[in-house]
Amino acid sequence: MKSKFLLSAKITLVLVYLVIVAGAAVRMTGSGMGCPDWPKCFGYYIPPSDIAELTWSPGREFEEGQVIIKDETLLVAVDDFKSGSSFDAGHWRKYTKHDYAIFNPKHTWIEYINRLAGALAGLAMLVMAALSFGFWRKDKTITLLSWLAVFLIGFQGWLGAKVVYSVLNPVKITMHMVVALGIVALLLYIIRRVRGAAENVIFDGKFTTLISVALALSLIQIVLGTQVRQFVDEQVKVLGD
């Protein structure tokens, strides 16, 4: 049981790292609004790759929840129907979470891959949490922390939705990053606890304090970095490319 749990925890940790890397790619490429809705992407489980898929046309089958872009506005189908020769507004409602209605296929797929990585990490974490029940009698803390990790990954998904709905609010982006780092720290602690503290290891108090200060400063630097990037993006919008 211990070896299976450790393997599961390590796989989960690697997947969380991949999610962070994918998130960085989203941020660097400006793909955060590649999918303007959540958890689907333009109303699809597999996102569109061509603007034609998001454009109204006569004689086309539409499904409830499907999204189109019309007059620079996101519209959501309210039922399943086949379009006639002219546009019927009765089959559509305006998307109300925000007014961002730009389609960029590259951005869409980068964001979609990020979401897929997050979903895989979540599934791996559920497996890890299920295996943690094997430690319930010996060390309940491992089980409790494992399920805390599941809660945090769920919270992270919810927070990701809020980031999209806010059209990339910088405070929410920062929170999103901090929670991801918290999940990494929690997984590392779980793995260390399952392995058990090494014997004959002497922990120097001063060194521990130094490490704690370094970690705190690193976290502050990361938070400030997200704010600086947001400031740069805003200046680019104001001054132009």
**Residue 150: inside a domain, yes or no?**
yes
Compute the distance between CA of residue 11 and CA of residue 18 in angstroms, rounded to an integer: 11
pLDDT digits (tens, 9 = 90+) for 98-154: 999 999 999 999 999 999 999 999 999 999 999 999 999 999 999 999 999 999 999
**Residue 203: inside a domain, yes or no?**
no
Question: In this structure, are residues 62 and 80 in contact, taking their beta carbons and an 8 Å threshold?
Answer: yes
Compute the distance between CA of residue 144 and CA of residue 1 in angstroms, rounded to an integer: 17
| Whether residue 149 is found in the same domain as residue 85 | no
Q: Rounded to an integer, what is the distance from CA 96 to the centroid of its chain?
A: 21
Q: Rounded to an integer, what is the distance from CA 11 to the centroid of its chain?
A: 18
Backbone phi and psi for residue 12, each to the nearest 5 degrees, phi listed first: -60, -45
**Residue 223: inside a domain, yes or no?**
no
The whole model's pTM is what? 0.85
Q: Rounded to an integer, what is the distance from CA 170 to the centroid of its chain?
A: 15
Region 167-174 average pLDDT: 87
Tokens representing 24 are 């960085």
| Whether residue 109 is found in the same domain as residue 192 | yes
